[in-house]
Structure 1
Amino acid sequence: MSLFEGYLSTPEAVAAFSGPAVVAAMLRFEAALAQAQAEEGLVPPAAARSIVDSCRVELFDVEKIVRDSGRAGSVAIPLIKALREAVGLFNAEAVAWTHFGSTSQDVIDTALVLVTRDALDLLDADLRRCIASLLALAEAHADTPMLARTLMQPASVTSLGFKCADWAAPLVRGQKRLQQAAADALQLQLGGGVGTLAQMGVDAPRAAAVRARVAASLGLRDGGGAWHTQRDDWVALGCALALLTGSLGKLAADLALLGQHEVGELMEPAETGRGVSTVMPHKRNPVASMVALSAAQRAPQRVAALLAGMVQQHERALGPWQAEQAEWLSLWLAALGSLRALATALPGLRVDAARMQANIDRVCAELPAETVREWFAPALVAMAGDQARQRTVALRRVAG
């Protein structure tokens, strides 16, 4: 990961998708596989114990595994080689049963599912914070007048509460969309060489029993088969994440515009060292909006690459699957950075209601009285406020 990608994400997100985290997840798969095969009588119990005991990430040189993966063409190949060497130190007979009946894509895909599940927990916490902050603002400012703007120009009067509820709505929809997509996508990958589990040397029911045991051990859904080159559920989760990132970008764009000095209606919280300029001490840059906007700028390219990567050849892809892995991590790092930035900023937004009213008054002063009565009447603010309260109640019910 580059310097310029890391600072747009969070330390927790970087750690979730780090080399040690992914390798540890791969080893969890190998341990679960050996244990399941032993329980089904495919692997000697003593061999399974040796494999499980060796599946500890601290025993492995992760940096070397990453370096060697470039030449091998897969991070699984040097890892399995190192795992067999570690197993062999304690039980030479167990080496033959290590990674038995599986394939590189099984261990890599399952590991990415596991670390993505951890990332979803990070995402859900920050998403809930964003939603809660917006709904609290919607309630507190249901009747606070502000300008609505269309085509970047003053249009009519509305309320800040209505606008906050409007910002919250796609985040609540995104939350539900991600939950559904995750329920489908977070599934075990286990198919062996060509997806049939034939390398286990048993009949289909026993192979399926092994798969079910591994899935249960890892807390994943058993999809009933391999999805080596059928990536629709997985990519759908990426698309749901990209949609949420776009919604966060829209919110960030509005915040940045409302925080401009010439507008001055909503400002990100100020704190020491945040949003400062190297040469202009009077500046306070909207850093949270910047991070969210940068994520929204990059998400379309990341998800487009995921969609393009669905065109995978036969039973194992040459190129598209490998591209998908890299884009997957970049998409998640950006999205998690966007959410954390806004989850941190939204609770402390500074609302300048006086400035909002002053901006309304300035527009009204330039308009005929009839236009002011039609488009800037107090009744319009009251209507917006009522709708803000109704939407807030409904959104709270859905968000849970």
Structure 2
Amino acid sequence: MGSTVFDSVLFRNMFGTAEMRAVFDDDALIARYLEAEVALAKAQARLGIVPAAAADAIAVAASSLKLDSEKLRRETEIVGYPILPLVHQLSEAAGEAGRYVHWGATTQDIMDTATVLQIRAALRIISRDLAELSAILAMLARKYRSTPMAGRTHLQQALPITFGYKVAIWLSSIERHIERVGQALPRVLVGEFSGAAGTLASVGEKGLEIQKLFCEELGLRQPSITWHVARDGIAEAVTLLGLITGSLGKIATDVMLMSATELGEVSEPFVSGRGASSTMPQKRNPISSELMLAAAKSVRQHVAAMLDGMIHDFERATGPWHLEWISLPESFLLTASSLANAKFMLSGLHLHEERMQENLHLTHGLIVAEAVMMAAAPKLGRQRAHDRVYEACRQSLDDGGDLVAILCAMPDVVEALGGPAAVHSRCDPMNYVGLAPQMVDRVLSRPARN
């Protein structure tokens, strides 16, 4: 049994996905180390620094390496890093060519590059899931473009909105994250080959050429200078995940609050037994939303750790680097889980439109007090219109009467609005959703959506 939620048989699929675990598991990590070592040998062979036959032999040895995992684990604990023990095994497997393995490199060159290769694979998953989630949200926004509901500020009913408008706000943040991922790739997907102190002294004058070809072999950008202790690219990747899970946490919070018995406006998809209570048979807890919110809170902590980990000492750090080993994979696992839960929950979200209508009328018309005030202001003046409608609202709150009936008993307000029928029209919440539907259309018509 695992000791954390990430490797627990019970919890791992609630706090990660099998696909994302496969990017960051030990086998994948070692494969990335070997990929970097092979790329280095090939790059150096292209420049005649190591024999081409040696580079070929190293590639063959890496692809067929029968790793002694227990020895690697034991030696990694002694050394503190896995590269030296891995290089020993790869060199031995490569035979005579083994003397050219890891030529001029330092441990962090290989580990950093492997990390970037993992990030590239992980961001492909994140990008795909964001695109799929965007499509789901677009469908919901379009379908419920004009479906009225109560808008709330400070947890109080404020003004009418539409559910499509709410969803379009969610969608707009997801689309910005899609843009952010694309914008971040050139800064994040950068290889690292710089040698012990980052100066490439170990390989002489051809160092920058080796570095260029090394990055080409892996499909990564060449750095302008060593980034052993300039960790902003790695930190940006995790910070981006913090932004993504933060937006998903906002969606989850809205859904959870709207799912509350007292509101009852939406429900997560029904799956027999999901969200059930051990003692209360009636319960149907919003489990997907709860997991999305937990992910947001957890990734936020990792963002803080990564920002702290940017503060390295001199040319090679004494500790901050190790924070990445913890925070990077966990952040990607949590983000993958949150996106998976969001896609499941939103693709099958149940909307209770009748309950939305009931809630719109819960305040006996007070939710449209602004509509009445603004309509009466041209005749009465803004301040007098505000004061008269305020009086009507206080009376409704004190006596429980409907705002429309109270306003109809105010001759100056009736006259300002143009008669009793106009008062009734102004007090209909469905007539005061503003430009919410048009705003939905603006989000859905963005070039990225066409």
* Structure 1 length-normalised TM: 0.92
- Are the aligned partners of 2:360 and 2:429 in contact in 1 as well (CA < 8 Å)? no
Structure 2 unmatched runs, 5+: 7-11, 366-399, 408-422
Q: C-alpha separation between the residues in 2 aligned to 1:376 and 1:383? A: 16
Aligned partner of 1:80 in structure 2 is 87
Q: Which residue in 1 is equivalent to 2:189?
A: 186
Write the distance in 1 (CA, Å) between the matches of 2:179 and 2:237. Answer: 12
C-alpha distance in 2, partners of 1:2/1:197? 41
Q: Which moved more, 1:230-239 or 1:301-310?
A: 230-239
Query: Which of the residues 117, 124, 143 maps onto 2:146?
Result: 143
Shift of the alpha carbon at 1:3? 4.0
- What displacement does 1:356 show? 0.6
1:28 and 2:29 correspond: no
Q: Deviations over 1:335-385 (max 9, x none)?
A: 111111101221111111111111112223655225997675323236312
Preserved CA contact (<8 Å) 2:65 2:90? no
Shift in CA distance, 44/372, structure 1 to aligned 2, threshold 3 Å: farther
Provide the residue aligned with 2:347 in structure 1: 347
1:4 aligned counterpart, secondary structure: coil
2 CA distance for matches of 1:338 and 1:2?
21
Change in 2 beyond 3 A, CA 1:263/1:222: same
Q: Look up the equivalent residue of 1:325 and give its one-letter code.
A: W
One-letter amino acid matched to 2:163 = L
SS in 1 for 2:197: coil
3-state SS of 1:381 partner: coil
For the Cα contact (< 8 Å) 1:10–1:333, is it kept in 2?
yes
Instruction: Give me the whole-angstrom Cα distance separating, in 2, the residues matched to 1:273 and 1:58.
Output: 46
Q: Which residue of 2 aligns with 1:386?
A: 438
One-letter amino acid of the structure 2 residue matched with residue 329 of structure 1: P
1:47 and 2:54 correspond:
yes
2:382 aligned residue: none
The one-letter amino acid paired with 1:49 is: D
The 3 A distance-change label for structure 1 pair 129 and 62 is: farther
Q: 1:252 and 1:188, CA in 2 relative to 1: closer, same or farther beyond 3 A?
A: same
Q: Contact 2:130 / 2:339 at 8 angstroms: preserved in 1?
A: yes
- Which of residues 159, 162, 165 in structure 2 aligns to 1:162? 165
TM-score (norm 2): 0.82
Preserved CA contact (<8 Å) 1:23 1:62 = no
Residues 198/272 of structure 1: CA separation in 2 closer, same or farther (3 Å cut): same
Deviations 1:128-187 (A, max 9, x none): 111111111111101101111111121111000100001111111111112211221111
RMSD of aligned Cα (Å): 2.0
Between the aligned residues of both structures, percent identity stands at 35
Distance 1:183 1:274 in 2: 41
In structure 2, how many angstroms separate the alpha carbons of the residues matched to 1:58 and 1:169?
A: 47
216-225 vs 95-104, which deviates more?
216-225
Q: Give the structure, 1 or 2, with the largest relative contact order (CA under 8 Å, sep 6 or more).
A: 1
Structure 1 gap ranges (5+) = none
For the Cα contact (< 8 Å) 2:425–2:431, is it kept in 1?
no
Aligned length: 391
Whichever of the two has the greater Rg, that structure is 2
Q: 265-274 or 21-30: which moved more?
A: 265-274
Shift of the alpha carbon at 1:250? 0.6
Name the amino acid aligned to 2:325: Q
Letter in 2 for 1:198: A
